[in-house]
Structure 1
Amino acid sequence: MVEDYGEIYPLQHDRQAECLHLSFWPGSLPLQQRWRNNGLSADFLGDYVTTFFPLDDADPATRRRQNEIRGAVGFIANELLENAMKFHDERSLQPITVDMNLQKQVILLRETNAAAAAEVERLRGFVKQLQTSDPGELYVQQLEENALSESTAGMGFLTMINDYDADLAWRFEALADSGFRVTTQVTIRI
């Protein structure tokens, strides 16, 4: 069974696109050590993509654009990795993967991990709420709820939409072990 929310775009593997693939085995290090690696990996992706937007000393806007792209990719990649590490089903033989695909008009960031059915139900509920709500209002509502509790559920996704004008999509694929492979795709226009 495969269930999509939003449009999952194919990764482009040709001379018109750049693609970078990273794979992680979260059980190989304690979660606290993984957090540091998430930041390093996210920064790497942000730095990597900026090489395709060279600086022009005669045009200061190129530095601003490069910094905006680096910041967006770094933030989004870090959020995707943190969620993946937090909610990955360690019993699964599936790695966590992150793909960054730079196409003519967009950057696709895609993260895939295995998750237990209970985690998938919580995420599905959030995704359904997101599809039927105004993201700006949902963001404010979530900020108010966070002030009363320590939950930050969905704030990263809402920030991606509100701050980076990102489009999000999810794919849930049932696995033989009663868990799911969860794909989160974030598309930003360049």
Structure 2
Amino acid sequence: MSEIIGVYSLDDSFSEHMSLTLYPDSFAVRWSLCNLTANFMAEYFGELFPEIDGEDRLISRDEVSGAIGYVLNELVENAVKFNQHGDITVTVGIGREDLVCLVSNQITNAAVPSLREKLLELTQEDPGELLRRQAEANAEDAENAGSGLGYLIIMNDYGVSLGWKLDPISVNSFSIKTMARIPILNERSRMEIKGGNYRVWYDPSEVVVYLEGILRLGGTTEYAPIEELLDKVLATNPPTITLDVRALNFLNSSGINVLYKFAIATRKKGELQLIVRGSKSIPWQGKSLPNLKKFNQNFEMILCD
């Protein structure tokens, strides 16, 4: 059975993407090839961005290339280092507000429990505090210098959202897919809230609010930033607002109450239509989302396969 940790979703319609495959079973993959792979894709995708964005919405071409080069090198090196056997696939795609880097490889079953513990720590604690603690621990242990910092650096320095998908493929091995989402919009052009294992963001071109990952925040106070984002979207007075929750694997009762309150707020706008796109494969959505119609009759629910 598949397991998702962090922010992992492949619902993007990429405007451009590229995949490369490494074959470590056929020939040894040297460290220099990890860097070469990352730099090649960084230069390629950097060329797809303008040197100067006339609307000042996107980060610069150099920033795009630099981010892909650093982040992808970290992901590919990890895949090579821990790969049990089989191919390593590297994919980069341009999404609506992100560059999506996806690297897949295989690990042993025995490695899964300790890996799961480390990944959960990354998604459940503050990345800045984790980085500080890890750096101090490394300073005390000369033989461990630099260990464990890679993911934390790309989360803190590049604003990356990380997610992982674990799938058993045999009695001895698991497939692991590591996803890194690199923001490509300038900070002032982005309406986004991120936590360790969730992400909420707004696409103004489509008037869609995306909710992704696992949302189990602790009540009204912790959900307040998400409610503020929804209020800002509502204040633009669009004829239709879509909530896309297809990649929202879990939402607790406090979060569902936020959706109910938003449905009431959209009803008070009169003719505004509320559309919710969900997933048939996520049980809570089929149970809870239909209840939104109780609060706004001008409501449409679309459950996708």
- 2-structure distance, mates of 1:123, 1:136: 20
Label 1:174 to 1:145 Cα distance change in 2 as closer, same or farther (>3 A). Answer: same
Shift in Å at residue 168 of structure 1?
0.3
Give the letter aligned to residue 84 of structure 1: A
Structure 1, unpaired ranges of 5+: none
Answer whether contact 1:11 1:101 (CA < 8 A) is retained.
no
> Where does the alignment leave 5 or more consecutive residues of structure 2 unmatched?
185-305
Matching residue of 1:109 = 101
1:173 equivalent in structure 2: 167
Q: Which residue of 2 aligns with 1:85?
A: 80
Counterpart residue type for residue 183 of structure 1:
K
Other-structure match for 2:150: 156
Q: 1:54 aligns with which of 42, 46, 50?
A: 50
- Of Structure 1 and Structure 2, the greater helix share is in 1
Deviations, residues 116-143 of structure 1 (Å, cap 9, x unaligned): 1232222211111112211101001111
Report the Cα offset of residue 104 of structure 1: 2.7
Offset, 1:153: 4.0
- Please state whether the residue corresponding to 2:50 is helix, strand or coil: coil
Is 1:20 the equivalent of 2:18?
A: yes
Q: Deviations 1:120-176 (Å, cap 9, x if unpaired)?
A: 222211111112211101001111111233334431110111000010001110112
Please tell me whether the aligned partners of residues 115 and 181 of structure 1 are also in contact (alpha carbons under 8 angstroms).
yes
CA contact (8 A) 2:100 2:181 kept: yes
- Conserved in 2, the CA contact under 8 Å of 1:112 and 1:184? yes
Amino acid at match of 2:84: D
CA distance in 1 between counterparts of 2:2 and 2:73 reads 26
Q: Is the 8 Å Cα contact of residues 109 and 187 (structure 1) preserved in structure 2?
A: yes
Separation in 2, partners of 1:69, 1:136? 23
| Residue matched to 2:183 | 189
Q: Secondary structure at the match of 1:27?
A: coil
Q: 2:192 — aligned with what?
A: none
C-alpha distance in 1 between matches for 2:125 and 2:95:
29
Q: How many residues are treated as equivalent by the alignment?
A: 180
SS of residue matched to 2:25: helix
CA distance in 2: counterparts of 1:134 and 1:82, whole angstroms? 24
TM-score, reference length from structure 2: 0.55
Identity within the alignment, %: 32
Paired amino acid for 1:172: L
Q: Secondary structure at the match of 1:26?
A: coil
Radius of gyration: which is bigger? 2
Show CA shifts across 1:65-107 (max 9, x none): 11111111001110011000000003xxx31101101123111
Note if contact 2:109-2:171 (Cα within 8 Å) is conserved in structure 1.
no
Contact 1:20–1:101 (CA<8 Å) still a contact in 2? yes
In structure 1, what is the Cα distance between the partners aligned to 2:90 and 2:28? 19
Structure 2 residue 43 is matched with structure 1 residue 43: no
The verdict on how the C-alpha distance between 1:145 and 1:50 changes in structure 2, with shifts beyond 3 A counting, is same
- Paired AA for residue 74 in structure 2: E
Structure with a larger share of its residues in strand: 2
Distance 1:2 1:101, change over 3 A: same
Q: TM-score, normalised by structure 1?
A: 0.86
2:2 corresponds in structure 1 to 2
2:116 alignment partner in structure 1: 124
Q: Using the alignment, how far apart are the partners of 1:153 and 1:172 within structure 2?
A: 23
- Matches of 2:154 and 2:114 in 1, distance apart? 19
Aligned-pair Cα RMSD in Å: 2.1
- Cα contact 1:12–1:19 (8 A) shared by 2: no
